[in-house]
């Protein structure tokens, strides 16, 4: 990942794990996403995979449904990857006038709304998942436990989140890392979306807790199962349950806590 590592830090004190280390700091920079020539959002992220991140965010927010909805997508200038511009097809623009005006930007922090209203609004804009792919629970746990091995940026910085996406045969399709868990998921989803492989995505592994925003993004990507290292929030479980999704997290040992959608995880 380009420019993903920033400054170094020297270590003072007793050796860690028997040796002294000089850890690197993860980079964090703004990414401005412009839609139809207008500023849409600015996010703080780790540089790299800007095009995929923008595509993943546009899918999550309902700006696009298919790659063919995008007329053009690219960085502003060859030497500036901190600005991505997106142009939609005329047909797609006609379908989403409110979203382009950001009157339906659900995932941003908003005052004056409660959890029930958030779930109600998202339920109206996202159809429940009908995919009933079943995974062997021990094999799914093995995928969760394998995530650290797929995180080179975390090994260097101890500060990166990751999202890994698997198909029905538990073959890893994509992994992305970022300082923000939302960005990591947008990058992973965006890569598969632009490659035309998102329909194969069945299992999402997260390094973080599961917030309702991550459930929203997974639901928009039509990924039915989410496993994570940390527990979900109550709102995440409510939303996932209403959308017929499966949520589970590590129990800190060799098992899982299952919160909803247990029918997709079966013992051997």
Residues facing residue 42 across a β-bridge? 32
Q: Give the domain extent around 178.
A: 135-266
> Integer distance in angstroms from the first to the last C-alpha of the chain?
38
Clarify whether residues 248 and 188 are in a common domain: yes
Clarify whether residues 109 and 182 are in a common domain: no
Clarify whether residues 86 and 150 are in a common domain: no
CB-based contact 232:210 (threshold 8 Å): yes
Half-sphere exposure in the Cβ direction for 14 (13 Å, CA): 2
* pLDDT reported for residue 264: 98
Clarify whether residues 197 and 139 are in a common domain: yes
Q: Is 171 exposed, middle or buried (0-12, 13-18, 19+ CB in 10 A)?
A: exposed
Closest CA to 131 of 199, 67, 56: 199
Confidence band for 105, pLDDT divided at 50, 70 and 90:
very low
In the chain, the number of structural domains is 2
Q: Which residue has the tokens 């909803």?
A: 260
Which of 58, 76, 111, 174 is flagged as catalytic? 111
111 is catalytic: yes
Clarify whether residues 98 and 140 are in a common domain: no
* pLDDT reported for residue 7: 62
Within a domain: 16: no
Q: Can you tell me the distance from the alpha carbon of 95 to that of 194, in angstroms, rounded to the nearest whole number?
A: 20
Clarify whether residues 164 and 262 are in a common domain: yes
For 1-30, write each residue's pLDDT tens digit.
Answer: 456 776 655 556 566 555 544 568 899 999
For 58-103, write each residue's pLDDT tens digit.
Answer: 999 999 999 999 999 998 766 667 899 999 999 999 998 878 775 4
Within a domain: 12: no
Q: Which residue has the higher pLDDT, 206 or 106?
A: 206
The three-class DSSP label of residue 110 is coil
Residue 154: which CATH number?
3.40.140.10
**Spatial CB neighbours of 39, under 8 Å, sequence gap ≥ 6:** 32
Q: Which residue has the higher pLDDT, 219 or 268?
A: 219
Question: Which two structure tokens, joined as six digits, stand for 38?
Answer: 């207008």
For 155-196, write each residue's pLDDT tens digit.
Answer: 888 889 999 999 999 999 999 999 999 999 999 999 999 999
Confidence band for 117, pLDDT divided at 50, 70 and 90:
low
Within a domain: 126: no
Clarify whether residues 90 and 197 are in a common domain: no
* pLDDT reported for residue 227: 98
Clarify whether residues 153 and 261 are in a common domain: yes
Q: Taking all residues of the chain, what is their mean pLDDT, rounded to a whole number?
A: 87
* pLDDT reported for residue 106: 44
CB-based contact 233:215 (threshold 8 Å): no
């Amino acid at each position: 990942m380009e420019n993903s590592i920033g400054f170094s830090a020297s270590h003072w004190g007793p050796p860690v794990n028997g040796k002294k280390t000089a850890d690197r700091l993860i980079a964090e920079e703004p990414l401005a996403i412009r839609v139809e020539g207008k500023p849409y959002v600015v996010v703080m992220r780790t540089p790299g995979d800007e095009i995929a991140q923008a595509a993943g965010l546009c899918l999550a927010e309902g700006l696009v449904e298919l790659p063919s909805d995008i007329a053009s997508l690219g960085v502003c200038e060859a030497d500036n990857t901190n600005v991505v511009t997106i142009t939609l097809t005329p047909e797609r623009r006609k379908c989403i006038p409110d979203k382009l005006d950001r009157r339906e930007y659900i995932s941003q922090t908003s005052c004056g709304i409660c959890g029930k209203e958030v779930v109600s609004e998202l339920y109206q804009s996202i159809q429940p998942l009908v995919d009933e792919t079943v995974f062997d629970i021990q094999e799914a746990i093995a995928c969760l436990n394998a995530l650290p091995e797929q995180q080179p940026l975390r090994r260097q910085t101890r500060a990166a989140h990751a999202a890994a996406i698997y198909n029905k045969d538990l073959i890893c399709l994509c992994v992305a890392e970022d300082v923000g868990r939302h960005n990591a998921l947008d990058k992973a989803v965006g890569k598969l979306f632009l490659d035309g492989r998102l329909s194969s995505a069945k299992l999402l592994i997260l390094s973080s807790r599961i917030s309702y925003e991550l459930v929203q993004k997974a639901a928009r990507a039509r990924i039915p199962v989410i496993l994570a290292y940390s527990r979900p929030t109550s709102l995440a479980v409510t939303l996932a349950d209403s959308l017929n999704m499966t949520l589970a997290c590590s129990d800190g040992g060799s098992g899982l806590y299952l919160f909803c959608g247990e029918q997709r995880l079966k013992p051997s």
